[in-house]
């Protein structure tokens, strides 16, 4: 008995050390260091945190279950951990506005590590941009997608392209709307940026971007066959494609006439901006083109909402037919003045954006300790700004889950911008916001004046936290007589 006791003692000692060590690690994990009071919440399990709970789907247009349950339990600001990263989630509009105002001061743009890998290039993740770089990104985007470009050229170009796409859709038995709208947006925006022509190109850019979008928020399990693995493969293919394009365009610059597109300007600006390199331009094309498909979810949801609300379709159609009757030439392109006169159309767009919440949250990282409402958010933590909470707040929007475009009637622009932030806020508000609204308006105009449509399959929705449409929303189109 004595010899057995001696033999087992080292094993017991090792086990005791392991248990004590694990207990300490778990304690430190659940109680992070902070020079103040952390927001309430739970850090979940070590390493994975509460990632599984984050991607658990909800089946309404309401807040994702992950956020809604924790807001109910802890209040509008709480702490958590996702994929090993410490995070504070805020669903408080006042705190969210404060965070937007701190851009470049105490917070910076940030992405989860799993998302950063999608934008990683040559071993470096370029997912933050501050100061001069951010100013340049806004400038070049507004130059090619902003209101002046819309007035001068894009308004008519969008109308011609949407016309072409809807003709194609009307010749098919049915169309899965999200896939169709993603392809429409990606192909058209690639044309604006670098002259891409899907019918002449050997590469199907929209197909690769759709694969990328499909796996973008998937669980980051990088093994063959998973959505995330396919997403990374699509990213690599696109980056190589853009590298070849940039190299070819730059070599031809000396002899070929300038096209004046997005890529031309970026390559020309390399001579004047120190941070600009060919690699940066590749990343710029990739990032902006991928982001340009963000309103696809809103356009898809719009079909579901319109199918369920025929009175909205009736008023939309009446508005567009009214200004067509005032024209000398009903087939002429829409003018900027006509777009600005689409009062009810814009109300429908506002309401669709409010309910779709295509960007359910925005991410920032603290560069120093941030003190707000009695809490301290330590430097290096990620901030998840849930702007969808503003859109679905019953204190701001009566019956927030109802589709009610008339709620925006007679609201001034200040009230709208205060209570509707689908494109973010502060200095980081998406530079393509006007462009996205115009595209949706032109799409609606062409749809209600030239086509009849009906939903033939699908319509189930979920949030996890990105809005998803189950097997898709399938719609058949036919041209009006």
Measured CA to CA, the distance from residue 266 to residue 204 in angstroms comes to 23
Q: What pLDDT, on the 0 to 100 scale, is given for residue 9?
A: 67
pLDDT score at 426:
61
How large is the greatest C-alpha to C-alpha distance in the chain, in angstroms? 107
Contacts of 154 (CB under 8 A, 6+ apart): 145, 192, 435, 438
As a whole number of angstroms, the distance between CA 212 and CA 206 comes to 10
pLDDT at 48 over 90: no
| pLDDT greater than 70 at residue 71 | yes
User: Is 119 or 342 the better-scoring residue by pLDDT?
Assistant: 342
In terms of average pLDDT, the best of 223-232, 284-293, 324-333, 439-448 is 439-448
Instruction: Answer yes or no: is pLDDT of 4 > 70.
Output: no
DSSP 57-94: -BSSSSS-HHHHHHHHHH-SEEEEEETTEEEEEE--HH
Mean pLDDT of the chain: 86
Q: Which two tokens stand for residue 201?
A: 């190109």
Rounded distance between C-alpha atoms, residue 302 and residue 298, angstroms: 6
22, pLDDT greater than 70:
no
User: Beta 382-385 vs 85-90: how paired, if at all?
Assistant: parallel
Per cent of the chain over pLDDT 70 is 87
pLDDT band at 317 (very low <50, low <70, confident <90, very high): very high
* 319 confidence band (pLDDT: 50, 70, 90): very high
Number of neighbouring beta carbons within 10 Å of residue 286: 22
Per-residue confidence at 26, pLDDT binned at 50, 70, 90? low
pLDDT at 256: 63
pLDDT band at 121 (very low <50, low <70, confident <90, very high): very low
Asked if residues 200 and 177 have their Cβ atoms less than 8 Å apart, the reply is no
Please report the pLDDT score of residue 78 as a whole number.
Answer: 96
How far, in Å, CA of 429 to CA of 427, rounded?
Answer: 6
Q: Rounded to the nearest 5°, which phi and psi values hold at 300?
A: -65, -45
Highest mean pLDDT among 55-64, 193-202, 432-441: 432-441
306 vs 393: CA distance, rounded Å: 23
User: Which residues does residue 332 pair with via DSSP β-bridges, in sequence order?
Assistant: none
Q: Which residue did the predictor score with more confidence, 314 or 83?
A: 314
Rounded to an integer, the average pLDDT of 385-404 is: 92
Under a CB-based contact definition with an 8 Å cutoff, are residues 63 and 91 in contact? yes
Query: Between 120 and 268, where is the model more confident?
Result: 268
pLDDT 10s digits, 173-217: 999 999 999 999 999 999 999 999 888 888 899 999 999 888 776
Q: How many CB atoms lie within 10 A of CB 54?
A: 22
Name which residue leads in pLDDT, 161 or 56. 161
pLDDT at 17 over 80: no
**Averaged pLDDT, 67-93:** 92
Is residue 239 within 8 A of residue 124, CB to CB? The reply is no
Q: What is the mean pLDDT of residues 148-162?
A: 94
Tokens representing 57? 């789907």
Residue 146 DSSP code: S
- CB-CB contact of 195 with 261 (8 Å): yes
Q: Positive or negative, the Cα torsion across 240, 242, 248, 251? A: negative
- For the ranges 82-96, 100-114, 423-437, the one whose mean pLDDT is highest: 82-96
Instruction: Report the distance separating Cα 183 and Cα 74, nearest Å.
Output: 41
- pTM equals 0.88
**In 3-state terms, what secondary structure has residue 374?**
coil
Statement: residue 40 has pLDDT above 80: yes
Most confident of 39-43, 49-53, 225-229, 401-405: 401-405
């Amino acid at each position: 008995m004595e010899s057995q006791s001696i033999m087992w003692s080292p094993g017991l000692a090792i086990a005791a050390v392991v248990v004590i060590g694990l207990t300490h690690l778990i304690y430190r994990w659940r109680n992070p260091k902070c020079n103040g009071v952390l927001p309430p919440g739970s850090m979940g399990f070590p390493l994975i945190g509460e990632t599984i709970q984050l991607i658990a789907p909800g089946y309404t247009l309401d807040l994702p279950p992950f956020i809604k349950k924790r807001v109910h339990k802890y209040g509008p600001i709480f702490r958590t951990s996702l994929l090993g990263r410490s995070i504070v989630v805020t669903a408080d509009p006042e705190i969210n506005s404060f965070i937007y105002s701190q851009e470049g001061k105490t917070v910076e743009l940030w992405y989860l590590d799993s998302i950063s890998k999608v934008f990683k290039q040559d071993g470096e993740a370029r997912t933050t941009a501050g100061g001069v770089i951010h100013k340049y990104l806004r400038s070049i985007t507004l130059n090619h997608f902003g209101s002046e470009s819309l007035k001068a050229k894009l308004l008519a170009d969008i109308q011609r392209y949407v016309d072409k796409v809807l003709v194609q859709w009307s010749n098919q038995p049915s169309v899965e709307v999200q896939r169709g709208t993603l392809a429409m947006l990606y192909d058209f925006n690639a044309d604006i940026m670098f002259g891409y022509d899907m019918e002449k190109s050997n590469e199907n850019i929209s197909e690769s971007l759709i694969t990328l979008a499909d796996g973008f928020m998937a669980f980051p399990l990088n093994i063959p066959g998973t959505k995330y693995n396919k997403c990374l493969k699509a990213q690599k293919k696109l980056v190589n494609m853009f590298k070849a394009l940039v190299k070819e365009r730059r070599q031809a610059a000396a002899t070929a006439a300038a096209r004046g597109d997005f890529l031309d300007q970026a390559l020309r600006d390399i001579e004047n901006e120190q941070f600009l390199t060919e690699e940066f331009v590749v990343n710029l094309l990739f990032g902006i083109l991928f982001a340009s498909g963000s309103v696809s979810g809103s356009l898809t949801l719009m079909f579901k909402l319109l199918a369920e609300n025929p009175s909205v379709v009736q008023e939309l159609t009446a508005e567009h037919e009214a200004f067509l009757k005032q024209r000398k030439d009903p087939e002429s392109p829409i003018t900027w003045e006509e777009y600005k006169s689409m009062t009810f159309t814009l109300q429908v767009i506002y309401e669709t954006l409010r309910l779709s919440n295509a960007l359910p949250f925005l991410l920032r990282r603290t560069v120093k300790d941030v003190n707000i409402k009695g809490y301290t958010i330590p430097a290096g933590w990620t901030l998840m700004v849930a702007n969808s909470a503003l859109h679905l707040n019953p204190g701001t929007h009566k019956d927030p889950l109802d589709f009610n475009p008339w709620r925006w009637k007679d609201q001034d622009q200040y009230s709208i911008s205060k209570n509707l932030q689908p494109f973010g806020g502060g200095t980081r508000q998406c530079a393509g916001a006007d462009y996205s609204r115009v595209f949706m308006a032109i799409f609606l105009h062409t749809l209600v004046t030239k086509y009849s449509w009906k939903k033939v399959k699908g319509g189930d929705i979920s949030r996890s936290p990105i809005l998803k449409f189950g097997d898709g929303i399938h719609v058949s189109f036919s041209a009006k007589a």
